[in-house]
Amino acid sequence: MLRLFWLLFFGFLSEFIWAQPQKLYFDQAYATGAPQSAVFDEVNYIPLETNRESVFGRINQLIVTHKYFIIWDTDTDAIYFFDKEGKFLKKLSDKRNTIKSIQLDKNKNALLIVQLSKSYLPSQKQIQSALDNPFKNSALKYYKSFYYDLNDINAAKTSPIKNLDFIMANPIILNSKYWAFSYIYANKGWDDITDYELKVSDGNKIVQSFFPYSRQKSSIFYGSPQKISFYNTLNPSYLLFTRPFNYSIYKFSMDTLIEAYQVVFPMANTLPNSFFTQNFESRKAFEDYKQKNSGFVWGLDNIVEFKNLLFFSIDTWRSFNERNFILNKTTNQFLNYNKISADSSNYFLPPTGYRVQYFDENYLYSSVPSSSMFQSYESSKTRNVQYPPTLKVFFEKAKQTDNPVIIQIKPKTK
């Protein structure tokens, strides 16, 4: 009976894997800009308090809860907590360990923090060896993983988790029981065995694996580890993800895997079939190929599905201003996210950061350096702009070297 159940289950799953995706025909040359008031209903600015303890460089990752802005800054290797008005509350740092990743577990109302020891840095071979048998707990001397309770951040209540070796691959929380993780690597010196780009674990075993590849013969993965990138959605029952050197966006939960969208680029920007069969002898050969073919799109990332809008970035050698886009699924219109321009309704200030960094049920969140805010302020002095009290105080008392400013955006969704 159990065998029959799994046969039925994987037959059901296969049906979803091969469902026809929605094709999105996209040429970035035709993705236009627009005034921000034509795209957004609201643009709000929240300066982050800057003092000796709270000053940091840039927002590597932003998490927004009902009480906090939580910021991971890689320059200072620290996590900062601010309230929703931007007041500084707390800083977390550790002299013995560097932060490897953070993620919010909404069910626990806790922050999962993974740290890497500064004393014991694993080699590529050691990482691969650990992930070959991801339940031995051999990563303990390299990694430290724990939950940080957000119910009272000043209590600094932490709960260690079982330090399974797959923590080295920065797994994402699927739900209270399962993790998804990805680590894709090939080497001619290894045995010709089949590995999988995507794996799901319950903490004791691998329960699902998808997208097989040869660890010896998949030359596009030689010498430079790749991974699937996961993206949370407003629906807690599923994630989105993208794969390296692939133009599809997948929807994934414990019982479905759907190729939801497939972006179709012009031929000049599309990886040719020969790319996937070419024998790259080394990492350098692969990098040389990329430099000689700089017009190709290497993949998709920064996926945000917000109501009728789909935000995505393309991995290309072009500038940041040519990488981030929005699809309005109602009108099938593409916009260049970084060419959305300021107007009087947002006080002629920067309407977006360089990408969306978080979102909740009502807003998108991004950030800009204080210096960018002051540049816009100076260039608008002849307009006699009437700023709200918060921004008026900011421009009177802040400095260009102060902490970044959070941008809270409510897009038009009709």
Beta-carbon contacts of residue 150 (< 8 Å; ≥ 6 apart)? 65, 67, 68, 109, 110, 111
- Which bin fits 79, alpha (ψ -120 to 50), beta or left (φ > 0)? beta
**3 found inside a domain:** no
**277 found inside a domain:** yes
Lowest mean pLDDT among 3-12, 93-102, 353-362: 3-12
- In this prediction, residue 118 has a pLDDT band, given cuts at 50, 70 and 90, of confident
What CATH number did the domain enclosing 198 receive? Answer: 2.120.10
Q: What does residue 259 show for φ and ψ, rounded to 5 degrees?
A: -80, 100
Long-range contact list for 51-59, CB < 8 A, 24+ apart? 51/88, 53/88, 53/91, 54/80, 54/82, 54/88, 54/91, 54/403, 55/402, 55/403, 56/80, 56/403, 58/369, 58/404, 59/357, 59/367, 59/404
Give the H/E segment covering residue 397: helix 389-397
**4 found inside a domain:** no
**49 found inside a domain:** yes
Name residue, tokens 């460089």: 57
Mean pLDDT of 182-208: 88
Q: Quick one: tokens of 287?
A: 């990098």
Half-sphere exposure (Cβ direction) of 89: Cα atoms closer than 13 Å: 19
Beta-carbon contacts of residue 143 (< 8 Å; ≥ 6 apart)? 100, 114, 115, 116, 117, 163, 167, 168
Among the listed residues 158, 172, 286, 161, the one whose alpha carbon sits nearest the alpha carbon of residue 222: 286
**363 found inside a domain:** yes
| 3-class DSSP state of 290 | helix
pLDDT at position 248 over 90? yes
**8 found inside a domain:** no
Give per-residue pLDDT as tens, 381-414. Answer: 999 999 999 999 999 999 999 999 999 999 998 7
**9 found inside a domain:** no
**1 found inside a domain:** no
Fill in the DSSP letter of residue 58.
Answer: -
Q: Quick one: tokens of 319?
A: 């500038």
How many structural domains is the chain composed of?
A: 1
Among the listed residues 148, 144, 225, 218, the one whose alpha carbon sits nearest the alpha carbon of residue 185: 225
Domain that includes residue 308, residue range: 16-411
Fill in the DSSP letter of residue 399.
Answer: -
- In this prediction, residue 316 has a pLDDT band, given cuts at 50, 70 and 90, of confident
Give per-residue pLDDT as tens, 329-352. Answer: 999 999 999 999 999 999 999 999
Between the CA atoms of 287, 292, 296 and 299, what dihedral angle is there, to the nearest 10 degrees?
0
